[in-house]
Amino acid sequence: MTVRILAAGDKFVRAELFSAELRRELGDGIAVHSLELPWPVEPFGRIAEVDEASGSEEQMIEALQGVRICVTQMAPLSERILQACPELELFAVGRGGPVNANSEAAARHGVTVTCAPGRNAVATSEHTVAMMMAAARRIPHTHAELKGGTWRGDYYQYDEVGIEVGAACVGLVGYGAIGRRVARILKGFGATVLVYDPYVSADSVTDVDELVELDELLRRSQIVSLHARLTKENAGMIGAKEIAAMPPGSVIVNCARGGLLDYGAVCDALDSGHVFAAALDVFPEEPIPAGSRLLTTPGIVMTPHLAGASKQTAHNAAKICAAEVGRFLRGEPLEHAVTPKARG
C-alpha cells in the first residue's frame, strides 16, 4: 500500500527538500504531497495552543486528510487538528524541539512526534562566535560610521577599545549541541571556557576548562553566551542581579531564546557602562516592536533570529526527518521521538 506523506515546507526548509530526502530514504511506495507555509516572510506565532507555528489549523486539517505521516518545520499540530485527522500516525518536526506540536495531545491520539536536535548546531555556533567578535570589537558600528563618512579614531583610545575573544574568560550557559561546538571553537582561539549546565556531569564535558555554578561563571566571565533551552524553570534566568555580578566591561551574547534574558536590564547595563556590548539574535517579541529600547541603546549588535539559518541547516532538517520516517515505517526504534510510538 502506498504511504501518503505530507511535506509541509516553508520558504526555508522547502517542501522539495523534504520530498527529495524522503525519496532518497524510502524509494518508491510513497506518495508525497506538498504544502508551502508562509514563514519566514510572515513571522511565526501562536496557533491555538502551540507556539512558533506557521499556517493555520484549517489549512492543516485539509492537507492531512488521508495522510499517515507529516514532515514539517513550522506547521501546527493542535488538539483540533489531531481530532480531525485520525489517520495521522507520525508528525516529524525538523527543529531542535517540537514547540509547534501539542505532544501531550498527540500521545493521547496515538500520534508519534519526533524532532531534529542538532540540525542547526554548526550554523548557530558559528554565528554565535561571529556575534561575540562583532560586539567585542565594535565591527558593525565602525562599519556603519565609515559608510556614513565618519572616521572614529577615538575608538583607538584604551578606554574605548574592546577585548580579544582568545584572551577572554568566556562563560557558556548551557552545554548542548550548540554549546559544545562553541566551546570547541573558543578553545581553538585560546579562550578560557567555563560552563554552567545543571544537566551535565564533569566527566561528560570536553573542550572546557571548568564546569561551575552560575554565580561563579558570571563573576569570572568577560563574555557570557546563552545556550540553554527555554523552560518554565529558567525563564528570565539572567536579569539585573546576574548582569551586575559580571565584570565591568563585559559582553553578553544571546543566540538561544529571548525569554532567557531580561532585555531591559541589558539596556540599563549598557547605558551605565557596566556592560561594554551585547550581541542578540533572539528577542522577547519578534519582530522587535517600534519604540523598543533595543533600537536606540548603544553597544548592541543584532540579527533577526538568523543564527541557525544556513543552507546546510535546511538540508539537515529534511534529512533527519526523512531518516525518522524510514525508521518508523520499518518498525525500528526512533532516535528523536518525544512521544511513545503507538502505531507503525
**Where in the sequence numbering do the catalytic residues fall?**
257, 286, 305
Q: CA 262 to CA 269: how far, in whole Å?
A: 11
Measured distance between the N- and C-terminal CA atoms of the chain, rounded to whole angstroms: 14
Q: Which among 305, 252, 260 has a CA at the least distance from the CA of 95?
A: 305
Tell me if 136 sits within 8 A of 249, measured CB to CB. no
**CA-wise closest residue to 278 among 253, 298, 303, 255:** 253
Max Cα distance, the chain (Å): 73
Report d(CA 226, CA 237) in Å as an integer: 10
- CB neighbour class for 3 (10 Å; exposed up to 12, middle 13-18, buried from 19): middle
209: three-class secondary structure by DSSP: coil
Q: Return d(Cα 72, Cα 93) in angstroms, integer.
A: 5
What one-character DSSP code corresponds to residue 337?
B
- CA dist., res. 272 & res. 299, Å (int): 11
Which three three-digit cell numbers place residue 302?
A: 543584532
C-beta neighbour count of 75 within 10 angstroms: 30
Q: Measured between alpha carbons, how far is 255 from 279 in angstroms, rounded to an integer?
A: 8
**Cβ atoms within 10 Å, residue 262:** 19
Sequential DSSP letters for 274-336: SEEEEEES--SSSSPPTT-GGGTSTTEEE-SS-TT--HHHHHHHHHHHHHHHHHHHHTPPPSS
314 closest CA partner among 14, 53, 26: 14
Q: Are 11 and 312 in contact (CB under 8 A)?
A: no
